[in-house]
Amino acid sequence: MPGVMHGFSRTVSPLTGPVNLANASEQKPRTLMDVIRGLDGASTEMVERGKTIFFPGDPAERVYLIRRGAVRLSRVYESGEEITVALLRENSLFGVLSLLTGHRSDRFYHSVAFTRVEMITAPAGSVRQAIEADSGVGLLLLQGLSSRILQTETMIETLTHRDMSSRLVSFLLVLCRDFGVPSDRGITIDLRLSHQAIAEAIGSTRVTITRLLGDLRNSGLVEIDRKKITVLDPIALAKKFS
């Protein structure tokens, strides 16, 4: 199958057959998920937590849509520093560079499974054909890309905090918004997050994150149970470190 995946074994299973482009006007796709998994060459891929989906410089031959889980996109600079630019949730679209350039190109980001991830992927060529056949498909893709850009902007804002405690708090609030499940105790981030994973996401160290989370817990602002973080009062947390 086209596309290069590194460092893991994956399961690929064919999905539905190709979209009948001739009847596209009569069979409008309901969601972006419908579009991607209905394309010729589409497949589903499972990626274990911490495994790379693609590296910078890999050929940009496929488009990805997250069905379950979270994906981290980052940039690696010449200094060796790796900066997170987005933490993508379910129904997020990524890997669209080849669509924007209109020809074969290379990956710009490092893409890693932040949790165990199930993705729907399709060849870039099939996506372009669907856009050309049905303007509604292009609109759905544009909406998906707009959401992706907003997630990137939010993550960049988080990383502008020079004080690491403020950066951590900002990151936790982003996770509450994108992955939060409300309960009578507060908002539980529906991800199992190791201290190392958080540190890598915001450019810190595991030791620092352990200390800062301990401070937040001692202040009664968060609870941690089996790597799941519950923010007890998001408004109080935001005010304390604003």
Pinpoint the residues of the chain covered by CATH 2.60.120.10.
Answer: 12-150
| Domain ranges in the chain with CATH number 1.10.10.10 | 164-240
Q: pLDDT 10s per residue in the chain (242 long)?
A: 444 344 433 444 334 444 454 444 455 446 888 888 889 999 999 999 889 999 888 888 889 999 999 999 888 777 777 778 888 888 888 888 767 665 555 677 889 998 899 999 999 889 888 888 888 888 888 887 777 777 777 777 777 777 899 899 989 998 998 899 998 889 999 988 889 889 988 888 999 999 999 999 999 999 999 889 999 999 999 887 66
Angstrom distance (rounded) from CA 240 to CA 230:
17
Helix (H) or strand (E) holding 98: helix 97-101
CATH of domain 164-240: 1.10.10.10
Report whether 140 contacts 99 (CB < 8 A): no
Residue range 12-150, CATH number:
2.60.120.10
- Decide: pTM greater than 0.75: no
Q: Which residues of 121-153 are buried (b: 16+ CB within 10 A; e: fewer)?
A: bbbbbbbbbbbebbeebbebbeebbebbeebbe
